[in-house]
Structure 1
Amino acid sequence: MFTYNDSSASAASVMDGGRKALGGFGVTVRLEQGEKELAFVSQEEKRGADELGSHTIIERVYQDDAERPEAVVRLKLRCYDRFVLAFADGRIVSENDFGNHRAFAPDNGITIKLGKPEGIEGVLANYQHKDWWTRPHFDTDLTKLPGRTLSLLWRTDGAYYHMLPVCGTQYRTDLAGGTSNEEALHVRISSHQGGMTRCDTFAFLLGVGEDPYELAEQGVETALRELGYPTLPRRRKTYPEVLDYLGWCSWDAFYHKVDEEGLLAKAGELRESGLPVKWVMIDDGWSDIADRKLQAFDADPAKFPQGLAHTIGALKERFGVGWVGVWHTIAGYWNGIHPESELAAKYADYLFETNRGNVIPYPDAAKGFGFWHAWHGYLKRQGVDFVKVDSQSAVNNFLRHHRPVGASAAAAHSALEASVSMHFDRTIINCMGMASENIWHRPVSAVSRNSDDFVPRERSGFREHALQNAYNSYFHGPFYWGDWDMFWTQNHDDVQNAALRAVSGGPVYFSDALGKTDPLMLWPLIYGDGRIIRCDRTANPTPDCLTVQPSDAGMPLKLWNTAGGAGVVAAFHIGEGAAAAAGTVSAQDVPGLTDGPVLLYDFFAKTVRKLASGEKAAFELEAEGCKLYLLVPAAADGGATPIGLTNKYVSTHAVRERRASGGTTVVTLAEGGSFAFAAERKPSGVRVNGTEASFAERPGGYFEVDCQDARGEVTIEIVQA
């Protein structure tokens, strides 16, 4: 329970029981003319209640001069049992309106300096290491926290604390390391626009709980409720139907050389292979551009001589592709829209020219919508079903000094998503958009890239790719289903990448070049109709490695999810060198899984082992190795326990229903395949769709039935009477 302790001005702190969670509360302002340290001058405390519960409101006032202040900041803390919401209200005072005004600097206009929280035993921070992407940081010394940190989780001996900076309607908050334990953590507030004399913003949220995963979900939901944005948390969004099926993307196959001939050749190859690829994404390279700027709505006539509609029609009619998407950036193309094009002239009312001369969709929701509505309407008429929108974190790069960062992002995303909702049923893959302003300001879109690009030709690329996806998912997952990017089915890291997608909970698509697809790598990820075997939620690192850099600790990276009532744990060796990584797997890796015994199924080894409550199974991974485990709660009624279709990575996903009565267990499966189940004693018989079937006993006390020839849903009866 959070309480406020104000025994003295310098010792003021937010306590959780007997432990200091926040303290120090120094304030600095950065003006366009220089920096000022503000002095604490007064404090007011009052009680209140709202839909989140009873709370205490603390308002602390800081200013630079007691008599004639130039800068005043009011820091307001609203303390609930499990959350603290922090607000900053700052203003710069000028003597008159016609003189030389002072204003907050565009970057770090206000900095709140906090002391080090007590009892830190582990840390997971996510920081923006590139304009587009975030990655994890684990050092418990908060003075080493990188700038542009967007999420900070720390673990103590009895709880987790999650600090979530907010991007408001104008200002964006980031975290960074300070200079000492007394000023260990800096909360930096920026507008990225000059001339701002008032800052009134929701700066950050701090939450506490025993379950770190639910803590992150509830923190995001609480913050969004407070903001009153149209932005929805992931748990209130709808996952797009298109992305529930296997897809193929042109990028790593053709890069910028994509054309109709290549697309149709690949589509024909995939059809011949028998793979049910249901969607195709035509990535960067199709657009009609000059000087890296968009100059027309239709495709490059040299690459698509009969137009985009002809190519899409052929993909659908000749090769059975269900949906086709196209790529573009949030500015039209990388450098915007060509100012000398007919396109720019025709849609001038909906376009904006920056001081640098770039022409982009207007940073006003209504005006910007006019451009997207025109283009997306055209694309829809050509047969396009959805879009991937790249370079989203360039919004602030284009509009820095033109608009406050929150305002520019909100306008850009509102305009874009209104059009996507109208024309493509909200189906969009957001990409290159992990900056805070993008994450907080997309109203309804459900899927967003969760890491830097898949890099197929980089030998060690999987390590960083897996690390980013695993740990970014902790703070990004409460907002979006993560897109963990495309992969190659014939590559040095193909198995690891397939297993990573199996547990991710997001889309599954590949980008093989002509002649390079291995169907056997994809079938374990999908059903016969092309539907992906998608876990229940976004994947996360297991509790034992959530606040630990796995490779530094000599342990595997482990990710957990759930499917079909079972836990799913994937383990990866992401360390450098040849040394093996040792770890354990147990029901404790999957929060909320049963406390009772579980059956541990090893997908790659094809073995089953029963684990008692609290028991852990040890394993080792060789360099670049991976494992995939299912933890299936053992049936408590004495009947058989279905493990599911073992020809699929996530076998339990296929189990639609289980019933047990009178010594017979009836299992309904999504489709046929290699069905496995465990039983305390050997069955007397098995029936598949009412017909007697043979079964084989496997090592470890489980049994397997071959029902691959069965079509549609399959009913298995296991008789033990």
Structure 2
Amino acid sequence: MLQGIEISSNGLQSVLGRIRVTVTTDNGSALPLLSSESEVTAGSDERGAYTETNQIFRGENDTAVVQLRFRAYDSVVLASVQGELINANDFGRQLCFAAQNGIIIHAQDMEEVDGLMANYQHKDWWTRPHFNHDWSTLPERTQSLLWRKGKDASYYHLLPVCGPEFRTDVCGAESGLQIRVSSQQGGRTKCQALSFVLGTGADPYQLMENQVDAALHALEYPTLPRAQKAYPEILDSLGWCSWDAFYHQVDEKGLLIKAEELQAAGLPVQWVMIDDGWSQTIDKKLSSFQADEEKFPQGLGATVRKLKEQHGIRWVGVWHTIAGYWGGIHPDSPIAKQYSDYLYSNAKGSLIPYPDAGRGFGFWHAWHAFLERQGIDFVKVDSQSAVLNFTKHEWSIGEAAAAAHQALEASASLHFNNTIINCMGMAAENMWHRPKSSVSRNSDDFVPQDEFGFAEHALQNAYNSYYHGAFYYGDWDMYWTKNHDDIQNAVLRSVSGGPVYFSDAPGNTDPTKIWPLIYQNGSIIRCEQTPSPTADCLFLDPTKDTIPLKLWNTARDSGVVAAFHIGKHKDEIKGSVSPSDVPGLQGEQFVLYEHFSGEMKLMHANEHHDFVLQPTQCALYLFIPVAGAATPIGLTDKYVAADAVSHVKSEGSTVSFQLKEGGKFRFMSAGREVVVDVNGKRLPVVVVSKQLYEVEIPNLEDKLQIVVSVTE
């Protein structure tokens, strides 16, 4: 056994306890390996100085050999595995690694922790959080593991990797972990993979970013982190999706009725997503590139033209799956015959785009070119984590997923400016292998009929975003503007940093639930980062513990904290917020402003403000750095009011800035008298409360230049 892996060359506390290795073979045998020789070397590369520990584990009679390599930098360890099963010859019966869990690294006798939060694949397509401190309860298919221990409250994070061939998962074991390496393909006698990254740090959010960066550079996937990707222009505007409005019964008539309603309401919806139900299918398999002829009698292109020309919709997208449709492509369809060179038939006869980037591209290029000619501007691609279910045992999971995403994204880049909403794709093989697309669903579906659905929906989105946000901007799904949890859903999306779109059926849209999220031109008010739970609730379950769920984000120079009561109990909950809840927020003194109550107060950086939430209630706090004689809060009829303020300049008793549009503008000033000029014209100022002022700003075609002058 290998004793106590050190997380860095600086002698930090051991975190993985005792290490042993087991090999699982394809005949079902488990071969325990014994530790033999080890070697410790030192070196340096572009990441800095490192110490590398190489440990060899051997099976009886050298039938199996596994080498673990731990390259330890200052605060991160890259752990690689190299294994081989030794057969007497190539023509005899071969002993191979099991397709699943072929190599298992056992981390035993790990120390107790003060807090733990894991994200595990509870369904093939989605992950959710787990909070139990007992290592043995850690679920299978864990994809992210954060914990805290020790008096210094250091954070530790283990990030399993899915590379070009192999995928690593983590699960609990008595007094420790099992770190499992799988190819999902039979017949392999060798394994070589970056298995996981282990890191430590005082900032849990930066820790996650550092680990993803280290892993992706080691894999030579430099374009994959979210920070390296562009957010799609289309998704910066308000959208509407057909799914929860029509489900599979979507058709041209319903789409045009809804578009007319939105237009009459004056809602600036800029894009429409035609979700599942539009395609021609047989037995849940795609049979044509064309739309269903009964639902779209004049074809998809005619519907798209009407949406754009008659109802002012700027962009239209359509839905499909990564296999074409849920069951793939129908083998007797004309498209199966015409594009046979680009399709793959698996062992059970399912026909899918070929899991080779070049050949798969041929299929997507043909379909996407057709869609582009119909006026389609982007796609939502569903069922992505079914890649494993279609290719299991026949392809390694890394190869299949990488090829599927490369083929899809090459076509989407050519035809749709790489605008994809990735969906049902939170399995590791999907997350690690999308080369260009930047937006991915962050949770299971929004379920409007479920009375208590918001709690699970918010829980998944909040805690999944901790690790998923390092890879992608999160799509937190559509919502209904008339529902038992409509306000909570709207506030949740206001801090998501991703798309905002709704899915009301005809006659059901409430514009008042949308306007706080958007500007008059249809642009959404989008926070700058992907959010995470605040540090004080990272290791607690707000659906069970009597605490609020708190999410932090940023808007320009301001901090944003949304708080929700998602407990399944009927008691009120108490919590507190502070500027210190928002990592990296600059300033010593802040204006706190709460959206719903209009409460305003001055706070120091480490000061806390107490609040109480009733069941299903939420609150939204801004922390705005004090800026001279007057501090702009922003357009307070919007959830993230501070987003509207830019180009702030403070000179003595005068503060000038720009607003994105007119509306209810509030600011804080300790001055004796204040006056406000907008584009040189003086406007009335209303005293809301002590030091809080309001001005109704008109909408003008020119830029809104605001000047607040204060008499001390």
TM-score range normalised by the length of the shorter chain: over 0.9
State the shift of 1:94 in Å. 0.5
**Does the aligned pair in 1 maintain the 2:558–2:625 contact within 8 Å?**
yes
Partner-residue secondary structure (3-state), 1:501: helix
Aligned residue among 648, 655, 672 for 2:645: 655
On the 8 A contact 2:158/2:198 being kept in 1, the answer is: yes
User: Which of the numbers 142, 146, 170 marks the counterpart of 1:153?
Assistant: 146
CA distance in 2, matches of 1:375, 1:520: 39
Change (3 A) 1:622 1:711: farther
Contact 1:230–1:443 (8 Å) recurs in 2: no
Matches within 5 A, 1:16-165: 17=11, 19-33=13-27, 34-65=29-60, 68-118=61-111, 120-156=113-149, 157-158=151-152, 159-165=154-160
| Most deviating of 574-583 and 429-438 | 574-583
Aligned partner letter, 1:28: T
Q: What CA distance in whole angstroms lies between the structure 2 residues aligned with 1:339 and 1:548?
A: 49
Write the letter of the residue equivalent to 2:366. A
Report the RMSD for the aligned CA atoms in angstroms: 1.2
Establish whether residue 476 from structure 1 lines up as the match of residue 468 from structure 2: yes
For each residue in 1:38-97, what CA deviation from the matched residue of structure 2 results, as whole angstroms up to 9, or x when unmatched?
A: 0101101111110011111111001112xx311110011101111100000000110111
Q: Is 443-452 or 43-52 further displaced after alignment?
A: 43-52
* Cα deviation 1:242-284 (Å, max 9, x = unaligned): 0000000000000000000000110000000000000000000
Q: CA deviation at 1:118?
A: 3.6
How big is the shift at 1:621?
A: 0.6
If the length of structure 2 is used for normalisation, what is the TM-score? Answer: 0.98
Shift of 1:525: 0.2
Contact 2:223 2:229 in 1 (8 A): no
SS at match of 2:194: strand
Assess if the C-alpha contact under 8 Å between 2:563 and 2:618 holds in 1. yes
Which residue in the other structure is 2:683 paired with?
A: 693
- Range with bigger deviation, 373-382 or 107-116: 107-116
The answer to whether the 8 Å contact 2:2/2:55 transfers is no
Deviations 1:385-413 (A, max 9, x none): 00000000000000001100000000100
Asked if the contact 2:7–2:77 (Cα under 8 Å) also holds between the matched residues in 1, the reply is no
CA distance in 1: counterparts of 2:544 and 2:352, whole angstroms: 44
The DSSP-based 3-state class of the residue aligned with 2:530 is coil
What is the deviation of 1:432?
Answer: 0.2
State the match for 2:586 in structure 1. 594
Q: What is the CA–CA distance in structure 2 between the aligned matches of 1:693 and 1:10, rounded to whole Å?
A: 74
1:316 correspondence with 2:311: no
Please show how residues 231-270 of structure 1 align to structure 2 within 5 Å: 231-270=223-262
Equivalent residue for 1:3? none
**Partners of 2:239 and 2:140 in 1: CA distance:** 37
1:713 equivalent in structure 2:
703
The DSSP-based 3-state class of the residue aligned with 1:488 is coil
Query: Which residue of 2 is the match for residue 167 of structure 1?
Result: 162
Q: Give 1:595 shift.
A: 4.9
CA contact (8 A) 2:159 2:196 kept: yes
Residue identity matched to 2:663: G
Deviation at 1:117, TM superposition (A): 4.0
- Asked if residue 221 in structure 1 is aligned to residue 233 in structure 2, the reply is no
Cα deviation code 1:563-593 (max 9, x no counterpart):
0211000000110121111100111110111
Deviation at 1:12, TM superposition (A): 3.8
Give the Cα–Cα distance (whole angstroms) in 2 for the partners of residues 266 and 79 of structure 1: 57
1:561-580 alignment to 2 at 5 Å?
561-580=553-572
314, 332, 341: which one aligns with 2:333: 341
Q: Distance in 1 between matches of 2:40 and 2:554?
A: 45
Give 1:427-576 correspondences, 5 Å limit.
427-576=419-568
- Cα offset, 1:483, TM superposition: 0.1
The equivalent position to 1:426 in structure 2, one of 418, 421, 434, is 418
**Helix, strand or coil at the partner of 1:532:** coil
**How much does 1:19 deviate?**
2.0
Matched, 1:664 2:657: no
Give the Cα–Cα distance (whole angstroms) in 1 for the partners of residues 68 and 160 of structure 2.
15
Query: How far apart, CA to CA, are the structure 1 residues paired with 2:402 and 2:50?
Result: 30
Return the alpha-carbon distance in structure 1 between the equivalents of residues 222 and 584 of structure 2: 31
Amino acid at match of 1:630: L
CA displacement at 1:231 relative to structure 2: 4.6
Q: Aligned equivalents of 1:585 and 1:611: distance in 2?
A: 11
AA matched with 1:32: D
Secondary structure of the 1:160 match is strand
The residue type equivalent to 2:654 in the other structure is: T
| Alpha-carbon distance in structure 1 between the residues aligned to 2:39 and 2:569 | 57
Rounded to whole Å, the distance in 2 between the matches of 1:700 and 1:557 is 30
Equivalent-residue separation in structure 2 for 1:538 and 1:711 (angstroms): 32
Structure 2 distance, partners of 1:413, 1:18, is 39
The gaps in structure 1 that reach 5 residues or longer are: 1-8
In 2, the alpha carbon distance for the partners of 1:595 and 1:344 equals 61
Structure 2 residue identity aligned to 1:151: S
Residues 551-570 of structure 1: per-residue CA shift (max 9 Å, x gap): 33311000000002110000
1:410-459 CA distances to partner (integer Å, 9 max, x unpaired)? 01000000000010001000000000000001101000000000000000
The SS at the match of 1:474 is helix
SS in 2 for 1:720: strand
What's the secondary structure of 1:25's corresponding residue?
strand
Runs of 4+ that moved beyond 6 A: none
Is 1:212 the counterpart of 2:204 in the alignment?
A: yes
SS at match of 2:143: strand
Cα deviations across residues 299-318 of structure 1 (Å, max 9, x unaligned)? 00010000000000000000
1:684 deviates by 3.7
User: Given that residues 19 and 119 in structure 1 are in contact (C-alpha distance below 8 angstroms), is that contact kept between their aligned partners in structure 2?
Assistant: no
> What is the alpha-carbon distance in structure 2 between the residues aligned to residue 692 and residue 563 of structure 1?
28
- 1:18: how far off? 5.1
| Mapped contact 1:645–1:674 kept (Cα < 8 A) | yes
1:612: Cα distance to partner? 2.6
Q: Distance in 2 between matches of 1:425 and 1:597?
A: 43
Distance 1:325 1:712, change over 3 A: farther
Contact 1:567 1:631 in 2 (8 A): yes
Describe the SS at the equivalent of 2:435.
coil
**What is the DSSP-based 3-state SS (H/G/I as helix, E as strand, rest coil) of the residue aligned with 2:158?**
strand
Is 1:282 matched with 2:269? no
Deviations 1:334-376 (A, max 9, x none): 0000000011000000001111111000011000000000000
Identity level (%): 54
CA distance in 1, matches of 2:120, 2:615: 28
Amino acid at match of 1:170: E
Once residues 7 and 411 of structure 2 are traced to their aligned partners in structure 1, the CA distance between those partners, rounded to angstroms, is 46
Equivalent residue for 2:193, pick from 201, 226, 235: 201
Secondary structure at 2:673's aligned position in 1? coil
Q: Distance in 1 between matches of 2:87 and 2:3?
A: 32
Alignment of 1:293-304 (within 5 A): 293-304=285-296
Q: Distance in 1 between matches of 2:571 and 2:702?
A: 46
* Matched ranges for 1:610-621 at <5 A: 610-621=602-613
Alpha-carbon distance in 2 for matches of 1:624, 1:23: 43
**Conserved? CA contact 1:125–1:151, under 8 Å:** yes
